[in-house]
Amino acid sequence: MRQKVNHFWDNFQGTAWKGLKVFLFYLAVLSLCRGFFIFWMQDYMGPSAAERDVCLALWRGLRLSCQTAGILALVSFLPALVLTFFWEKGERMAWRGLTGAVLVTFSVLYVASFPYYRQFHSNFNQLVFNAANDDMYALFVSFVQEFYLPVRLAGALLLAYVLWRGLQAFLGWNFFDAGKWNLPMPLRFLGRLAFLGLLYLVTLLGMFGGALGWETQVDWENSGVTRDEFLNEAILDNFQALYRGYSMNHRMLACNGLDFTAEDIRNLAALLAHRSPDSDNLDDYLRRKAGGAQVLKPRHIFVVLSESYANWPLLDKYQDLHIADGMRGVIAEEDSDYCPTFLPDGASTVSAVMGVVTGFADANLYLTTMPEAFAEPYPTAGAPQMERLGYQTNFWYAGPATWERIGAFTKAQGFRNFYSRGDFGDVPGSVWGCEDEFLYREILSRLGDGPSYNVILNASNHSPYDVDVAAKGFDASKVREALPGEVQQDEWLLKELGHYWYADRELAKFIHAVKEKYPDSLFVVVGDHGDRYNIDKVPTTYERYGIPFIVTGQGIHKGILLPDSAGSQIDIVPTLIELIAPKDFEYMALGGSLTRENRRGVNYGFWITRQSIGKADTVPLVAESLDGSEAPPSLDDAAMQNYINAIRSISWWRPKYGPILDEASVLSR
């Protein structure tokens, strides 16, 4: 009996020692790679970050990676533990094969995290899972052309092989073999207890993220404790970052990211509508009456969602780059006005499409995949309301109709016509869409004399940035001279700036061409999002996320927008309706008009006014100045919090649960 017990213990202890070694090896690799990531990407660290912050990030990351290392170690430990009692060769195969699979996965993620951060200023996040709805072929081509996928993959596999060989050598090193010691039974018993205590300690550290209990555990939600956003992202190892993205995506799909009650939403909607909370029908609070036309009714209306058209190149401090001269010229014209404090609906193009098409903000719902969005247009949808004003409604997209189901989605939300790259014939472009000049050419050639409302989504200012901008006239040498010295040799940045220049120029040419042919036209130009590239590695919040709102055309003049106007993409259609609709025209909207009332904007993570910007999820709200220097003016925290909550809660409830504010409608789903 004792012999069997000893045999069992020896097998268990041998396997457990290997499991501990694997845990320690994974923890060391995760920590060392975190350190190298911080060193290599240190240009993205803010000026306020100090050595203390770096040390804190490394320590906090070490604790968090205890959980990651523990989970990854179980991948090989549990199968090996079972096999050690039945098939010794199978146990060795488990250690070799499963650790190899883990290290290949880690290496691929780690190598990918460098370009991912450069692109999104974030470790892996929810956008990774949104890619499942994207054009996979186009993504693959972008990875090959822009991010040199074959080279990076080869580097990742080489890294995995080196790590795997190191791990196998570590597993074969018997630095502690109690079986060779001829100890008396009491000491053997104490040794076994000590070993079990060590296993228990490591188990706790793995379960609770470097802590001994849940009260002090570190997880992805509480790990960001430094003063620097880059370091906070670096704290998350790649597996934790993926888990964060999965969690956020799950919350979005389950619609449980917001916890407003029906009563909360009723009160917030009443505040937004400036009335008493006297109705259980949410639509009563969204109903508006136009104040009367401010311009003659235009023949054609265009809303241009320009890919990655950020606001920062339009700021005076960047005018010497000359990459935004086209739209600068449009803004300077007498029939134009410009709001520089505007936010996108979300961090991606599909969020912008959802916001402009439906009138709802990004609130943890993926409307292009929700059955409710395909049943009938939402009452706040822009196309049906423009149709009531006498306009034929068209959506123009430079890419394929299948991307994010955009063709089916826009038609389900009331657009009579949808045009995409497949309708334009053989035109130059990338996998994401045709070049802007050919998109605009097709639109101009198909415009008729009848009134039309057109939403345009272009694609040229998008990776893989393969428009031959030099052949189009882009003078890279002049732009290089205007750049700060530390980025003058950044060829990729020059390519990105060249594509902004191209998108800007072609947009201005299109506006002028339409005005010449149809002078009674009206344009609204916004970016679909910012936050893709900046000259500064650590831009201000305003320069990183802001997009422009430009209105130009018949009847527009300087000052038609409120001097302190601000907004987001849900405010586009209300602004247009208040510009052109007759007095008392009834319409539905969550947003407001920048010509009548709107002095603040809010989106998935931020708020903005004409004086300041800040994150929407801090309590209290913290205002940052737009230029990142002087202290911003005071902020009415309660009013802004109510506005943020109203926009989010209504955008969450109405698309998913309908107009009736009743808790039972949630419980029944």
Which pTM value belongs to this model?
A: 0.79
Count the Cβ atoms, other than its own, within 10 Å of residue 485: 6
Distance CA 380, CA 357 (A): 9
In which band, very low, low, confident or very high, does the pLDDT at 10 lie, cut at 50, 70 and 90?
low
Distance CA 31, CA 14 (A): 26
> For tokens 């993959």, what's the residue?
153
| Tens of pLDDT, residues 638-649 | 999 999 999 999
| Tokens of residue 3, six digits | 């012999």
Name the residue among 171, 191, 169 with its Cα closest to residue 180.
Answer: 191
Rounded to 10 degrees, the C-alpha dihedral 453/412/432/568 comes to 60
The answer for residues whose C-beta is within 8 angstroms of residue 608's C-beta and 6 or more apart is 341, 342, 343, 542, 546, 566, 568, 600, 601, 602
In which band, very low, low, confident or very high, does the pLDDT at 192 lie, cut at 50, 70 and 90?
low
Tell me the CB-side half-sphere exposure of residue 306, using CA atoms within 13 A: 32
Is 60 exceeded by the pLDDT of residue 189? Answer: no
Q: Please tell me the least confidently modeled range out of 185-199, 326-340, 527-541.
A: 185-199
Beta sheet of 336-343, edge-to-edge order: 417-419, 392-397, 452-457, 300-306, 521-527, 547-553, 336-343, 567-568
| Tens of pLDDT, residues 491-512 | 999 999 999 999 999 999 999 9
The per-residue pLDDT for 7 is 47
Count the Cβ atoms, other than its own, within 10 Å of residue 47: 7
Percentage of residues of the chain with pLDDT beyond 70: 85
| Tens of pLDDT, residues 457-488 | 999 999 889 899 999 999 999 999 999 999 99
| Tens of pLDDT, residues 590-633 | 999 999 988 999 998 999 999 999 999 888 999 999 987 777 77
Q: What are phi and psi of 601, to 5 degrees?
A: -130, 155
Is 70 exceeded by the pLDDT of residue 223? Answer: no
Count the Cβ atoms, other than its own, within 10 Å of residue 648: 24
| Tens of pLDDT, residues 382-406 | 999 999 999 999 999 999 887 888 9
Domains and CATH numbers, the chain: 2-253 (no CATH), 291-601 (3.40.720.10)
* Residue 156, helix vs strand vs coil: helix
Which amino acid, residue 157? L
Q: Identify how many contiguous H helices and E strands the chain contains and give both numbers.
A: 24, 16
Q: What are phi and psi of 177, to 5 degrees?
A: -130, 90
Which amino acid, residue 14? G
Which amino acid, residue 606? F
Q: What are phi and psi of 397, to 5 degrees?
A: -130, 135
Is 50 exceeded by the pLDDT of residue 376? Answer: yes
